[in-house]
Chain A
Amino acid sequence: MANVYNWQIERQMEYPYEGARPKRQFAAVFDLNKCIGCQTCTMACKTTWTVGKGQEYMQWNNVETKPYGGYPMGWDVRILEKLGPQPWEGKKYVGKTIFEAAPRGEKVLGYLKEELDWTHSNAGEDEAAGTLDKGAYFTMPTHDMWFFYLPRICMHCTYPACLASCPRQAIYKREEDGIVLVDQTRCRGYRECVQACPYGKVLFNPVLRISQKCIGCYPAVEQGMQPRCVTTCIGKIRLMGFLSKPDEVKPHAPMDFLVYVKKVALPLYPQVGLEGNIYYIPPVNVPREFLRQMFGTGVDQAVETYLKGKDDPELLGLLHLFGDTKEIVETFTVFPEAREAAGFDKKGREIVRVPFTEPDYLRPFYDDARKVYRHNIS
């Protein structure tokens, strides 16, 4: 066991391999306040990557409704239950990670998902905690009845449990972008990774008898494009980019700004210890205790920052760049006076610019050149 530093839990932790951060790290931010549970991302992924035999049930990208949804069923409840109480001291997680809590002879604390766990992938959809009786009036700061959508892909972790668990070392992290892959030619289908991934994001193909997972749409990313689940996200909740190492923060890189500078985007179940690289802006209407269990101690600050977003042009500007371009936005600039935000590619070329407020137009009543009146009621 090596000792590695996991910034999300602010401490060193045990991991089977020496730490080695990639040159660039694939990352994404999902704004849960905007997710509409439409499953467009799921279908974008499904139609592209999992149309083959043995993949019928597979959703590398899925969207589940919290608290009752889970694909595989109860994945988070079950790993939290196995892990037991999860204590934090300030921002430091002082409980055990799934590497540290691994049973003797195992590298990772996990469990083998059963076939039926993958069946009803959208069970729990729109189901709230709490039950209505008759009428009701829910107000902020948090609703007495609540649910939210949690869209999920592979976290392309800094310390992947799948990679740690693979007895054949057939799972690896790409040096150039940190995308985690299962080598489809070397995998023998032992399903150690399926058991180990606390997020349930490695899936077994019973026809090919190998494990498969989200590939971060690397064929697109290699061409400077964001993944399918991001470019099709009509809720405009997603932005993919590269996250710098924690000690090399670039404030004008979108991921760095949201994760390190504003701390408005948080890791999912950081206590499991994988330093996952999909970050979530927590839903503001949900009871904080539930959110802290899910996103760690940064929740209160993140919610507060988000709610004050209207007075923070830089944050507001960047949030308006979500879903405006297929290309990867390497850096961004906000023009507070003009109330505009622009995104730039690797070479510094402006790829997109949008206003904070969609422009409104008034056309002349009569267009003499074209001999026509313009009405709103025609």
Chain B
Amino acid sequence: MGQLSRRDFLKFITVGATTASLYDVEEAFGQFLEPVKVDNPLAHYPSRDWELVYRDIWRHDSKFVFLCAPNDTHNCLLEAYVRNGVIVRIEPTYGYGKATDLYGNKATHRWEPRCCQKGLTMMRRFYGDRRVKAPMVRRGFLKWVEQGFPRDADGRPPAEFFQRGTDEWVKVSWDRALEVAAKGLVNIATTYSGEAGQALLTGQGYDPAMVEATQGAGTQTVKVRGGMPLLGATRIYGHYRFGNALALLDSHIRKAGPDKALGARGWDNYSWHTDLPPGHPMVTGQQTVDFDLSAAEHAGLIIVWGMNWIATKMPDSHWLTEARLKGTKVVVVSVEYSATAPKADEVIIIRPGTDPAFALGLAQVLIAEKRYDEAFVKRFTDLPLLVRLDTLKLLRAGEVIPGYQPADLTNFTTVLKAGQAPPPFALQEKQLIPEGLRKEWGDLVVWDRKSGGAKPLSRDQVGEHFDRAGLDPALEGEFTVKTTDGKEVKVAPLFTLMRRYLDENFTPDQVSEMTWSPKAAIVSLAREIAKHKARTLIPVGMGPNQFFNADLKDRAIFLVAALTANIGQKGGNVGSYAGNYRAALFNGLPQYIGENPFDIELDLTKPARPRLYWKGESVHYYNAGDRPLRVGTKLFTGKTHIPTPTKAVFVTNSNSILGNAKGAYDVIANTLPKIELWATSEWWWTMTCEYSDIVFPVDAWNEFKFPDMTASVTNPFLTVYPRTPHPRLFDTRSDVEVPAGISAVLAKMTGDKRFLDYWRFVHEGRVEVYLNRILSGSNATRGYRFEELETRARDGIPTLMMTRTTPRQTGWEQTNESKPWYTKTGRLEFYREEDEFITLGENLLVYKEPVEATFYQPSVIVAKPHPAVRPIPPDQFGISPQDFAKSDVRQVLTLVMPWEVLKKHPSPLVKAGYPFIFHTPKYRHGAHTTGTDTDFLAMVFGPFSDVYRRDKRMPFLAEGYADINPADAKALGIEDGDYIWVDGWAEDRPYRGWKPGDAMYKVSRMMCRARYYPGTPRGVVRMWFNMYGASHGSVRGHESRPDGLAKNPATNYQALFRYGSHQSVTRAWLRPTLSTDSLVRKEVFGQLIGKGFLADVHTVIGAPRESMAKIQKAEEGGIGGKGLWHPAAHGFRPTYENKAVKRYLKGAFFIRRG
């Protein structure tokens, strides 16, 4: 370690002012001379005046509360302690136990403390060198604007202006940055408007369906996105409001008028992040079922499934450990011995991506051993409903009962006549079903054992309403019915079809082979669930959700829960814990994001009159090369899902959209060049900023001058970002001032004053007007005034959400008050009769092998011949099964094989030299990327951190690493701590069209450390998803800087990789069953039911854990690339244990005598 002269010492003392100086120097040196006599320092010490130094460090001048909310669902109010104007430490507020609601209900102090390591080190970021300090514009882009937007013949800007990643940055004024953004926007929207604009897009090679989808509005090629907008109801959702305002621009360009104008496309979040559990809407007709995590208090059994609860839900992990303390049994189902595993009574480790098979295995045992809850099945599920074996559709009452008239729906339901407007959200009492849909659905049929015949069952007849019908539906059997047109048709209850499928394919023996789970685990867990009817919670994490078969996983887990009455109960439910999303808690949001820009309400006491002009769109299409899912001769993307070409992008808080996107390097290499304007708002220079055209500097949480609010899916709190007294450090503004500012320029450019009025309360600094409109318009918050909430937040106290129950249990009303689910049948639906599903063989709840991450033939439905599994052979779509090595084809390929056959078919990728499943879960030391490049936090970021970077190859103080089973690593000649190359499937990774020697290939081919990790199975390699990847600038820094940091010398962007990133091995995946126009689901906000695409509810979600990889040694792990990594060399690492460590592991130093 370094030496320091007295002069340096003095210098450090004065320089260290940001954290208060440690010692009084003169006193310290003066005391050298004084003798001190100590008799027994255990008993008494004579000179304790020096103790003042630490009391002095502890001292603060003032404190204030801010909200830390990096999209981890927790939303912690934190207290900043300020000294000499600088935040010196951050503390939890201990105000959660003071939270109340309008009726006097209270939370308790068991919610304390709420904070984490990321939040407590936040001042290292507030004052960090990657703050975006001023508006920045890329030089080439600025030139393009200044030169009046020159374009080539095909309409595209000349490439010389678009050297993103290697171009220089120009610092400009706010006015200039907003002007450049507005001008670019107007130019792009104008260029791509009308038939001429569409012709250009066609000429540029976009899919014709996408071009058509613009409807000739250039504004439709503009994409806006607030990154997880629930994190800021006005601040981040402001981008969507901006999307709505762009209808004014369309009106200006195309003279469209309020009836025809179109706004922007609004990109999705929950579904983009692969957080949406896509089977939840299939089973329940609405977004997601979940519960506040404090519900653990009421469960007898908790199955933590594919969820690393203690690492990703840290401040709520005590609910789990305390429940266990009180006798709740905890079972972890995982693909590794996870961080949560030690907190469980039982741990079951399965093969990645086989979760649906494991769940089906549980269901098989429950049914075969007759341990299921027959009453729940009959009262709340579609399992008794009859399925026609000819068409594979559900049998309708009208088909067998002559003259049958569908029932009048009265159970918590209103059928809306055409043109009838729904009431405001806060006053929506019942489900709202458009008459057209009601007619389309008809009523269903069961086989009544009492009367021995087919009997109609209406959507109303669930729970006690079903009981009153006096029916005794058969669950088992096959029947023949006579249809009204005289045909005899074979029908069977879904239960029978399901049971046959399970018994033939998912016995414990089969499931054990398929999933790697020991047989005893399957049988024992099934019995345990049966023992805990209505008292089993099944929180499911993002692990299984990130496989292509995620919807099947949801359907299968719900089946297990439904068979055991574990849905919608206080201590029994399914929950999905990937992402935060429940914007529906603020279902008054359309007051803000949908205020009609042609009819603006400027009276602050009145609500707005919403009219949506922006349209939702999935980011996955952009991610997939700005293409829909067209394979062979078929367009698998439903009409309602079709994206538009992406020409301009406005994002805030969105590193996931580009820098940490799945297949990020393919986006950068192949899609980004087609985009003509990319504007990012950020307070931290992320990898998305690296490749942007304009970067707007926005306030960090400690600097908020515009208050805001957010909510959570894991806790019951409505949380406010209070305004803070802390001054802005740099030339920053609120996120919401960016769209408001661009709109103000548009007002000047177009002469349309409405662009100004639309943001009046932002310009006036009274954003609470909008916040109050949202609060008053929302079921869960009406009655609250924002001003009161903010006052409490300033004291560190949140407010309880006014949901029906606390803890919020999705489905509580359905199960306990016999309200229908939001599905066609009003029941939990395990069958999908829509054509899209029948075509793919997924009408029946089946298990399908992963699309890539499997050792077996990918994309195979595991089934013996079954009357209800009849997918259309791929050759009918012009697809040859021989093409299955192609990633695009695997997305839509459907082959059916029994397990006994499949197990003999290894994956063609494995045969081609890609033997490892490579998956990228989330880590505790980052909320997404936030925190992972904080210097202090980097110290504990994995095993390779070294705060002094003794090995100059290190990209940062910490770095990305891959966790490999030691036996696998040894077989490859890789030592613990070595640098390795990790390559994904070469067809399309790291990007389509890569060539060795390309600069882009160098930036994007992943190099990282290898860690020997005993907790991952053979053949399964894990890497955290949270690290900042290499950019062109970071690679330049790594190779040119004397310190070797992978840090862009121009921007300070700091990568945690020397080359590439975990996203080098991932790619975009589009799933056809998530692309239907027919799936029935509730709208995001309110009680209205519709069908087809819905952002964050029914759309593609990607599959970021679907990767196979090849791994090779790159460099040795010892400092400077010589020899073994230090801890391994000293015998303190797995498989390198020295003699003492071996003894220690056995506990053999302890000797019991006598």
**B341/A133 in contact, CB under 8 A:** no
Taking the complex as formed, is A316 at the interface, i.e. its CB lies under 8 A from any CB of chain B?
Answer: yes
Instruction: Please indicate the chain A residues that have their CB under 8 angstroms from the CB of B1144 in the complex.
Output: 67, 76-77, 80-81, 293
B297 near A: Cβ within 8 Å?
yes
Looking at the complex, which one of B91, B113, B1151 makes contact with A233 (CB distance below 8 Å)? B113
User: Given A39-B940, A148-B342 in contact, is the A358-B1150 Cβ separation under 8 Å?
Assistant: no
Instruction: Produce 1/0 per residue, A218-231, CB < 8 A to B.
Output: 11101000001001
Give complex CA distance A143, B344 in Å. 9
Let me know if B41 and A371 touch, CB within 8 A: no
**11 pairs, A vs B, C-beta closer than 8 Å:** A18-B40, A36-B310, A53-B4, A73-B1130, A124-B943, A140-B345, A181-B51, A218-B55, A287-B1147, A310-B325, A360-B807
- A206 to B5: give the CA distance in the assembly, Å: 11
Check: B1133 CB closer than 8 A to any chain A CB. yes
Contact B1150 A363 (CB under 8 A): no
The answer on a CB contact under 8 Å between B1147 and A38 is no
- Max count, chain B CB within 10 A of own CB: residue among A38, A357, A378: A378
Whole-angstrom distance from the CB of B112 to the nearest CB of chain A? 6
Q: Nearest CB to that of A315 among chain B residues?
A: B325
Instruction: Fill in one digit per residue for A111-124: 1 if any B CB lies within 8 Å of its CB, else 0.
Output: 00001100111111
B941 adjacent to A289 (CB under 8 Å): no
Across-interface contacts of B943 in A (CB, < 8 A): 120, 122-125
Q: How far is the CA of A208 from the CA of B24 in the complex (A)?
A: 13
CA distance A233 to B120 in the complex (A): 11
A-facing residues in B1090-1144 (Cβ within 8 Å): 1126-1127, 1130, 1132-1134, 1140-1141, 1143-1144
Asked if A377 meets B1018 with Cβ closer than 8 Å, knowing A181-B51, A231-B92, A363-B103, the reply is: no
* Residues of A with C-beta under 8 A to B805: 360-363, 376
Which residue of B54, B121, B807 contacts A218 across the interface (Cβ within 8 Å)? B54
Tell me if A283 is interfacial: C-beta within 8 Å of chain B: yes
- In the bound complex, what is the Cα–Cα distance between A135 and B858 (angstroms)? 20
Q: Is A367 an interface residue (CB 8 A)?
A: yes
Q: What is the distance, in angstroms, from B1088's C-beta to the closest C-beta of chain A?
A: 12
Is B1153 interfacial (CB-CB < 8 Å)? yes
Closest 7 CB pairs of A and B: A135-B516, A289-B1147, A172-B45, A206-B1, A20-B43, A219-B58, A172-B41
Count class of interface residues, chain A:
35 or more
Which of B22, B346, B1087, B1130 has the most chain A CB within a 10 Å cutoff? B22
Are A358 and B348 touching (Cβ within 8 A)?
no
B780 to chain A, nearest CB (A): 6
Residues of B within 8 A of A288 (CB): 1147
Q: Tell me the residues in window 322-350 of chain B with beta carbons closer than 8 Å to chain A beta carbons.
A: 322, 324-327, 336-339, 341-350
When the two chains form their complex, are residues A119 and B345 in contact, meaning their CB atoms are under 8 A apart? no
Distance between Cα atoms of A139 and B121 in the complex (Å) = 38
B2 touches A140 (CB 8 A): no
Cβ-based interface call for A333 (8 A) = no
Query: For residues 95 through 116 of chain B, which have their beta carbon under 8 Å from a beta carbon of chain A?
Result: 97, 101-103, 105-110, 112-116
Contact A88 B1151 (CB under 8 A): yes
Do A145 and B1140 touch across chains, with their CB atoms under 8 A apart?
no
Complexed CA–CA distance, A183 and B1 (Å): 22
Report Cα–Cα, A74/B1129, bound state, in Å. 13
Main secondary structure of the interface of A (DSSP, over half): loop
Which residues of chain B are near A184, meaning CB under 8 Å? 23, 28, 50, 53
The answer on a CB contact under 8 Å between B584 and A377 is yes
Asked whether B345 lies within 8 Å of A139 as measured between CB atoms, the reply is: yes
Interface 1/0 per residue, A262-293 and B, CB below 8 Å: 00000000000000000000010111111111
Residue from the set A39, A46, A366 with the largest chain B CB neighbour count within 10 Å: A39
Q: Which residues of B contact A286 (CB under 8 A)?
A: 342
A17 contact from B28, B42, B116, B327, Cβ within 8 A: B42
Q: Please tell me if the beta carbons of A173 and B1 are within 8 angstroms of each other in the complex.
A: no
Which A residues are in CB contact (< 8 Å) with B1143? 81
Partner of B110, one of A87, A172, A354: A354
Contact of B347 among A143, A166, A324 (CB under 8 A): A143
Shortest Cβ distance from residue A95 to the other chain B in the assembled complex, whole angstroms: 8
- Known contacts A132-B1014, A234-B314, A352-B109, A48 near B325 by CB under 8 Å: no
Residues in A neighbouring B427, C-beta threshold 8 A: 371-373
Binary contact readout B77-94 vs A (1 if CB under 8 angstroms, 0 otherwise): 000000000001111101
**Interface 1/0 per residue, B15-39 and A, CB below 8 Å:** 0100100110001100100001010
- Residues in A with CB closer than 8 Å to B585 are 378
Scoring A residues 150 to 180 as 1 if CB is less than 8 Å from chain B, else 0, what string do you get?
Answer: 0000000001100100100101111100000
Known: A43-B120, A319-B322. 16 other contacts (CB 8 A): A36-B314, A43-B117, A52-B19, A57-B939, A127-B1134, A134-B349, A169-B41, A185-B27, A208-B4, A293-B1150, A297-B1152, A372-B782, A372-B783, A373-B779, A375-B813, A378-B585
Cβ distance A10 to chain B, nearest Cβ, rounded Å: 13
Q: Is A1 an interface residue (CB 8 A)?
A: no
Is A56 positioned at the interface, with any CB of B under 8 Å from its CB? Answer: yes
Residue pair B114, A234 in contact (C-beta under 8 Å) = yes
Report Cα–Cα, A47/B48, bound state, in Å. 25
The residue of chain B having its C-beta at the shortest distance from the C-beta of A288 within the complex is B1147
Neighbouring A residues of B520 by C-beta, 8 Å: 137
Check if B50 sits within 8 Å of A183, measured CB to CB.
Answer: yes
Chain A residue with the shortest CB-CB distance to B1133: A68
CB of B887 closer than 8 Å to a CB of A = no
| Chain B residues positioned under 8 Å from A53 (CB to CB) | 4, 12, 16
Contact bitstring B965-1004, A, C-beta under 8 A = 1, else 0: 1110000000000000000000000000000000000000
